[in-house]
Every structure is written in structure tokens, then in C-alpha cells.
Chain A
Amino acid sequence: QPTPLISHATMSPSKQNNLLSMYSSLSLSKSSYSVISAFCTEDNIPQCISYINQELASLGLSSTCIEASSPGAAGLNPVPALNATYELLQIHRRTMCSLEELEREQLKKSSTLEHVQMNNSRLKDQLELSIREKSGLHEMERQLQLKIKTLQSCLKTEKDEVQKLQNIIASRASQYSHDAKRKERETAKLKERLSQLLVDRKDKKLAIDVLNCLGRSDGKRSHWKTAKAAASHEGEMYKSLLSDYEASQRSLMLENAELKKVLQQMKKEMIHVLSPRQPSIRGATADDSQEQADSDLEDRAGDSSRGSLDKSCEHAREQLTNSIRQQWRKLRNHMERLDSQASQVQNQLESNKDVISRETHEDEMERMRREVQQCKEFIDAQQQLLQQQLNTSFDDETAALLNDCYTLEEKERLKEEWRLFEEQKRNFERERTNFTEAAIRLGREKKAFEEDRASWLKNQFLNMTPFTDRRRCSSSDGQSALSISKSFLQLAMSQETTHALNRYFQLLPSGRRFKSQVKAKSRLRCGDLSIFSLGEDENSLT
């Protein structure tokens, strides 16, 4: 690539236009940068300028045109040149951005393409597989159909055979019976012949030889066979039959009565079972007819209970059975309804989130039991470990060591605290001594102040003259007063010391005396020493 550019760099700028426009779509490469230095030389500046202007115009940047700084000069007007450069840079940046985007797009697209291709191949495989499966299933189905056909034909043949065999059996049976009848007729004939012969032969007669005739078993005399006897036999037979029938009829009647009683009872109970629910259940169904039927039943119940023992007529019996059937049907419907309701309620309970269904409840219970068990086990383990610990602590050295380990931290802490406590105590002691010293000093100074005051008063009184030379004495007195007040100030400065002082006063019984004196002093007004208050007024030390 660089070679043609370098070659074209030596060409005249007019020819450069065509070639450059051809290569204008080239992405900027390092080689092209090296070309730029070869493109323009000292000689062909105006041509280059014109060319570049042409190119810029073709690119659409009509805003700026590079122009020479002065016609014929080798320089460039910087402003348009810079503008043009800037615009070019902008264009370059934009193209870079778009290039990046395009690259990204291309990457995305290639990845999606890959993915789609993979999917495609996978689906193709799947499709192949399912097609193969389908063909396999088709094959199986065909075989099964075939099998069914063969089995059906087998069944048909078997049935036909069975039918045929049955026909054979029937025909054979008729044949046998015919044959047997024929044979029987023959034997009957033979028997007749034989008996005839035997009767005729008379050689060996049948006879009975009895020593003497026996009496009848029941002791009665035998009777002649007469028609009356025959009739009496008939009568007796019928009598025995009748008595048997009567006995059976009696037992049946009893049974019947029992069953009727049972039915009545059942009916009553069924009515009783159904009646409390009637207002709630009977909705659109005919209430009136039901009640009518019930009342009818009650009537009939009364009737049939009255006439139950005697021969009940068909009508009453039918009615009873019908009513029983009706009631039973109602009861069954009721039961079915209850069953469906119960199942519905069960479903509702199961679907209802607020109410825990039985299964979840049981699961929960199970889980909790397991947890409890685990906790128990845990506690047991812990206890065991504890036991072990306690047990092993009886081992001397390790026990001592362990004890030390456990209490060391506490000891350290305790030591720390003791140290702090000691420090504070020392501080307090120090302060106390300071306070006591201060207090003692204060007392002395007060005493001095009292003496001074007394002398000053004395002086004042004595000096209650208009003479001014006596004033010097008062100032000297004032100095001592000032010094006192200074010490007072010092004392008053630290609020702490006042408090300490108070505490000190509290502690020392002899301080009372002092306190009262101090109080008295506070009422002194001495110019700007109004800080005599010392906080005493606030602190009530009574």
C-alpha cells in the first residue's frame, strides 16, 4: 500500500485529485500518515491548497477554505486552515465512533448468528430424532394393530368352534337319548317276555313260609281295602299337606309381621332423620308435596299399624314399600349431598391459605417435632460436654490452668479498676489537702482582714474629720483588704474549690463556726468585690 502512495506523492497535485479520491475511503493507517509529509512540499503549496479545498468541498465542508496567508506566499492562513483541521478532526472522531459502533454491532450480530446457527443445528437434530421416533411409533402401532386383528380373528374362530362343539353335543345328546330309548324299549320287551315265562313256568314258585302270622305293629286289626279306605287315605294325605301348609303359612306370617315392624321402624327413623333438615335442604323442591306425603305416611303408618296383624291388603303393602323406598332414596340423596358438601369444604380448606390444611398442619407438626428433637439432642450434647468439662476439671494441673485462664481476664480488669480507684483516691486526697490548706490560709487571712477592718473602722471613726491626710491610712488598710479580696478572688475563681470547700465544711464539724463567719463577711460590699458571694448564697449549707 505505501508504495503507490509514495509514488503518487511525486506526482503533480492535479493528478493527485483522482488518486486521492480513490483512496479517500481507506481507513487511516500509519502508512498514510507518512504520506502526508510526502504529499505537500515547498513547491506545490498552492496546488496542494487548491486540491485540499476541492477535497474539502467534495466532503461537504464548505465552511472553510484554506487560503494562503498572502497570494503567492508559501504560508497558510492559519484560521481557515485550523478550522478545516478542526472540522476534519471532528469528522474523524465521528467516523471513529461510528466505526466502533459498527464493530460492536458486527460482534453482536456475529454472536447472535452463531447462537442461531447452533440452535438451528440442535433443532434439526431434535427434529430428526422425533421424526425417527414417530416412525418407530408408527411401526409399533402398525404391529399392534396387526396383532389385534390376528387376536380378533382367533377369538372369532374360537367362538365358532365353541358353537360348533355345542351343536355337536346337542346332536350327540339327541342321538344318545334316541338310542337309549330304543334299547330301553327292547329291554322292556325282554322283561315282559321274561316275566311272562317265569309266571308261566310255575316250577319254582315263590312262597312265603311263616311259622305264624305276626300282629300288626300298631296292634290294630288290618282293614279291608275299600273305596272308603281309599277316600280316607286321600283325606289323610290332604290333611297332612294342609297342616304343613298352615304351619308354613303361620311361620311366614310371623316373619312377615316382623319384617313389617322392622320396615315401619326404619321408615319412622328415616323420617325422623330427614325431617329436621327439611327447612334447610328443601329449596326449590316441592315442600308442600313432601309434607303432604309425610302426613299421608303418618296416616298410613297409623292405619297399617292397626291392621298389621290381620291379612294386609296388597294396596297397603305396596304403599308401605313405596314409602320406604321413597324415604330411602331421600336419605341416600341427602347423604350424597352431605358427602359432596364435605368434599367441597375439604377442597375449600385445602385451597384456603389462612386455614392450614391438614397436610400442611401435619407437616408443620412433623417439622417442629424434628426441631424439638434436634434441640434436645443439642442440649444433651452440650450437657455431655459440660459434664466432660467438669469431670476433666478434677484433673489438678489442667484444672488450675483452666481456672487461671478464666479468671485472668477478670483479674486484669479488676486490677485496672483498682488502679483507677487508687488514682482517684489520691487525687481526692490531694485536693482535700489543698482545700484544707486553702481553708486554713483563708481563715488566717480572714482573721487578718478582721483585724484590719476593725482597725480601719476604728480609723474611719476616728478619722471622721474632713482632714484628708488620714486617708492614707485607709488605703493601706485597703491594701490589706485588697490582698484579702485577692485571696478571696483566688478562692472564688475555682468553682471546684468552692464545692470542695463546702464538702470540707460538711466533713469538718468545726467548720460551722467558720462558715458563719464567712457568711457574715459576704455581706460586705467593697466596691468591685461583689464576688463575695463565693457561691455561698446559692449553696445552702444549713
Chain B
Amino acid sequence: MNFSEVFKQSNQLCKVSPDGKYLATCVQYRLVVRDVSTLQILQLYTCLDQISHMDWSSDSLFILCAMYKRGLVQVWSLEQPDWHCKIDEGSIGLVSSRWSPDGRHILNTTEFHLRVTVWSLCTKAVSYIKYPKACSKGIDFSRDGCYMALAERRDCKDYVSVFVCDDWHLLRHFETETQDLAGLEWSPNGCVLAVWDSCLEYKVLLYSLDGRLLSTYSAYEWSLGVKSVTWSPSSQFLAIGSYDEKVRILNHITWKKITQFEHPSTINNTKAVVYKEVERRPVVSDDLSLHNITVGTTLFNTQSKYEICPLPVQIPVVKPDPDRANPKIGISSLAFSADGRYLATKNGGFQVQSLSWHCTGDSLILLGKEQLCLCYMETEQEDK
């Protein structure tokens, strides 16, 4: 694998454009746009403050840069570098900022989640949505970009509002049966909205597009509940990862559990292949002559390779502190492959920041804090 030279960035703000042609990185208050193939700098923009958040618009024409401290959002155009746009939220503050699916509206969430301001870049109009819920995933756009679901909370009750992204018309507004709504996600076909409760209660609710409650699923009570939820690409399955280290799969016809996957600390399933990264540190001899250092450029690089461990394999488990909230146990991330054949899950406190599948569905990239790992799937095997 070849690596390019190292580029500076700040805040892990480094994104490839949706059309795959450009790479945008933020360095402090500068926005650098490069060409993906040549890595040549195409554009360079300067913002007013340190950039907290950066995102491409869906048509890859605009980039928004949000500066939360200042409450500012600046939008840059790739086609017209002179074009500028600045949105000032004023004293109301800014907590998060995002594009709408059509790439012409910007939704800003104010401080204390007082409201969501929808700025239109076409008409300069502004709309407000009151009482957005402060939860881990309170806003979700459907995949076709037609609808937006927003979680709200009024009078100690949870509501979901469905907006038409075209003109931000409120389509549906209904109350949910959750104690404390933690997140919502559209199914890929845009017809079902999955809503789940906070970890104090295991509850997953399924609402249809028009606001009817289709089904409720609760695996157990009292123990810590849902940690992560994901839909399969075909909308046929909903995978729920919970704090009891299990993934449960529901089917879209009956919304009942069809299977569940365990994550035992000892793997002795004969069908499982366990890869272990083994580091090989070169032995540094006492006489560190200059010759050795210059010749052996890999002297200080630790080589590592993956070898297959024989079963049964004991996975090192770190017991989390039971007194602290949000313990590092349970399934924290789930990802279906593009064809829906595989489900990758991360259980426990491993330092894996993200799991992403390749669009062809035969390889998976694991990003850790300091490492990355590419897994290629063989067509016959199943990996977890």
C-alpha cells in the first residue's frame, strides 16, 4: 500500500467530495481543497475563526465551514471562488450546522438546542423549528433527500416531526412512546422511521412515513439497552446493538427478531477466523552505529502482520468501571456491507473509531486512533 506525503489538518476535518473528485481539509482557519488524483491544491479559503466543522454539499459545489465559538457559518463555492456566504447566528450561539440534502439550505442548531434555524441560500429566507431534542441523533434525512425527521421534546414528552425538504413543510408531527428518545433513523427506502430510546430502557419503535406506529421491540428491561442501530441497505433488516454485547436483527415484515449475534469473550465457533495483529519489533543492538541507522531505515518501524489464531481464542476484555455512566461495553458500531451479506460489529472498548465497508461490499476498513486495517472478505466465509 502506498501512502502519500503527510498533510496537515486540524480537528480531523478532512473530507472527500461526494463526487469523489476533491479533497477538502481544514488547517486551523484555512480550508484547503485538493484534487484527489494529483493532490494538488486547487483552492484555498480563509475563514474568520478556527473551523469547528466542515462539510461538502451534496452536489460537491459548496463547502460549509462552521465556527461554533463565534456562531458563524461560512459557505464557499468551488466553481466561483469569489462567491462567499456568511451566516451569523448572533448571540444565540451555534452547536451544530449541516447541509440539507438539496445542498441549498443550511440547518443550524443553536446553543441549548433552543431552536433549529433553516437558512436558505436561494431565498435568504430563514425558518425556525422550535424545541429540537438534544440527543445523539435528533435529525435524520431520508436517503432520497425528500424528508427530514426531527426529534422534539415538549412538556416532558417526545415528538417526531417529519418535514418535506422541498419547502420545509411540516408533514407529520406525532408523539413517540419513548421515555427519552435517543435517536432516529430512516430506512433506506424512506418508508419506515426507527426510533429508539435512551440506554436506560431498551425500546425500539418503528413508525411509517405517515406517522403510524408499526411496531415496538424490546428485548429486555432494567439493564442498559440500545447502544447502536443500523438498517440493512435493502431495508429488510434492522440491526440493534445493545449493552448486553448482543446484536439483534429484526425483519421488516413482522418486525420481530429473527436472529441474534453474541459476542462471547472466548471464540470457539469453528466457522470463525480470528486474525491477530502481531507486532515484530526489530531488536536494537547495543552498538548503534551510524551505518546501521542510515542503512536500516526500518529499524525504528515496527512491522506488524496478521496471523490466524487457532481456536479457541480468548479476547482480552477490559471490565469497565460500573459506577461511571455510559460504560464502554456493548455494541458501539454496526455496519452492513453494501450487498447486505455481512454485518460488521464492534463490541467493547476497542479503539476502533469507525467501520466502513467498500461500496462493492467485499472489503472493510477499520480506523483506529493510530492504525488502520483493511479486511478483504472471501466470498465463502462469513466474518463478524
B112 within 8 A of A: yes
Main DSSP-derived SS at the B contact region? loop
Residues on the B chain within 8 Å of A209, using CB:
85-88
Chain B min CB distance to A113 (Å): 73
**Interchain residue pairs with CB less than 8 A apart (8):** A180-B180, A191-B112, A204-B91, A205-B88, A206-B90, A213-B122, A214-B104, A217-B104
Within 8 A of B (CB), among A187-218: 187-188, 191, 194-195, 198, 201, 203-218
Q: Is the CB of A233 within 8 A of B88?
A: no
The residue from A206, A217, A238, A240 contacting B103, defined by CB atoms under 8 A apart:
A217
Q: Is the CB of A216 within 8 A of B102?
A: yes
B123 within 8 A of A: yes
Give the docked Cα–Cα distance between A88 and B200 (Å).
124
Q: Is the CB of A240 within 8 A of B146?
A: yes
Give the docked Cα–Cα distance between A47 and B333 (Å).
142
The residue from A201, A206, A207, A211 contacting B83, defined by CB atoms under 8 A apart:
A211
Chain B min CB distance to A150 (Å): 30
- Closest residue of chain B to A223 (Cβ to Cβ) is B167
Q: Is the CB of B59 within 8 A of A217?
A: yes
Quick one: given A203-B91, A206-B89, are A241 and B83 in contact (CB under 8 Å)? no
A237 within 8 A of B: yes
Residues on A close to B: CB < 8 A?
166, 169, 173, 177, 180-181, 184-185, 187-188, 191, 194-195, 198, 201, 203-218, 222-223, 225, 229-230, 233-234, 236-238, 240-241, 244-245, 248, 252
Quick one: given A217-B59, A218-B102, A240-B146, are A208 and B91 in contact (CB under 8 Å)? no
Quick one: given A191-B112, A240-B191, are A198 and B91 in contact (CB under 8 Å)? yes
B16 within 8 A of A: no
Q: Is the CB of A206 within 8 A of B167?
A: no
Give the docked Cα–Cα distance between A212 and B87 (Å).
13
The residue from B113, B124, B210, B252 contacting A237, defined by CB atoms under 8 A apart:
B210
Residues on the A chain within 8 Å of B86, using CB:
208-210
Give the docked Cα–Cα distance between A387 and B102 (Å).
103
Chain B min CB distance to A185 (Å): 7
Residues on the B chain within 8 Å of A214, using CB:
104, 121-122
Q: Is the CB of B104 within 8 A of A225?
A: no
Quick one: given A211-B84, A252-B253, are A233 and B89 in contact (CB under 8 Å)? no
Chain B min CB distance to A229 (Å): 6
Q: Is the CB of A225 within 8 A of B83?
A: no
Give the docked Cα–Cα distance between A319 and B191 (Å).
35
The residue from A177, A201, A208, A218 contacting B124, defined by CB atoms under 8 A apart:
A208
Q: Is the CB of A225 within 8 A of B169?
A: yes
Number of interface residues of B (CB under 8 A): 50
Residues on the A chain within 8 Å of B25, using CB:
none
Closest CB pairs A-B (n = 9): A206-B90, A244-B191, A204-B90, A217-B102, A181-B156, A210-B85, A204-B91, A209-B86, A233-B164
Q: Is the CB of A206 within 8 A of B114?
A: no
Q: Is the CB of A208 within 8 A of B87?
A: yes
Q: Is the CB of B88 within 8 A of A206?
A: yes
- Closest residue of chain A to B164 (Cβ to Cβ) is A233
Give the docked Cα–Cα distance between A180 and B179 (Å).
11
Quick one: given A229-B167, A237-B171, A240-B191, are A185 and B209 in contact (CB under 8 Å)? no
Residues on the A chain within 8 Å of B82, using CB:
211
Q: Is the CB of A205 within 8 A of B90?
A: yes
Chain A min CB distance to B162 (Å): 8
- Closest residue of chain A to B180 (Cβ to Cβ) is A180
Give the docked Cα–Cα distance between A176 and B104 (Å).
43
Residues on the B chain within 8 Å of A240, using CB:
146, 190-191, 209
Q: Is the CB of B209 within 8 A of A222?
A: no
Give the docked Cα–Cα distance between A216 and B58 (Å).
13
- Closest residue of chain B to A197 (Cβ to Cβ) is B91
Give the docked Cα–Cα distance between A184 and B133 (Å).
12
Q: Is the CB of B85 within 8 A of A211?
A: yes
Q: Is the CB of B146 within 8 A of A216?
A: no
Q: Is the CB of A213 within 8 A of B124?
A: yes
Residues on the A chain within 8 Å of B179, using CB:
177
Q: Is the CB of A233 within 8 A of B115?
A: no
B202 within 8 A of A: no
Quick one: given A211-B83, A234-B171, are A206 and B102 in contact (CB under 8 Å)? no
Residues 46-75 of chain B, each 1 if its beta carbon lies under 8 Å from chain A, else 0: 000000000000110000000000000000
Residues on the A chain within 8 Å of B189, using CB:
244
Q: Is the CB of A191 within 8 A of B114?
A: yes
Q: Is the CB of B156 within 8 A of A185?
A: yes
Residues on the A chain within 8 Å of B124, using CB:
208, 210, 213
Q: Is the CB of A184 within 8 A of B156?
A: yes
Q: A204-B88, A208-B87, A209-B86 are in contact. List 19 more A-B contacts (CB 8 A).
A: A177-B179, A188-B155, A194-B114, A198-B90, A208-B88, A210-B84, A210-B121, A210-B124, A211-B82, A213-B121, A214-B104, A214-B121, A217-B58, A217-B59, A233-B166, A233-B169, A234-B171, A237-B209, A240-B146
- Closest residue of chain A to B93 (Cβ to Cβ) is A198
Within 8 A of A (CB), among B162-212: 164, 166-167, 169, 171, 179-180, 189-191, 200, 208-210
B345 within 8 A of A: no
Q: Is the CB of B190 within 8 A of A206?
A: no
Give the docked Cα–Cα distance between A173 and B85 (Å).
49
Give the docked Cα–Cα distance between A87 and B153 (Å).
141
Give the docked Cα–Cα distance between A530 and B149 (Å).
161
Residues 218-254 of chain B, each 1 if its beta carbon lies under 8 Å from chain A, else 0: 0000100000000000000000000000000000110
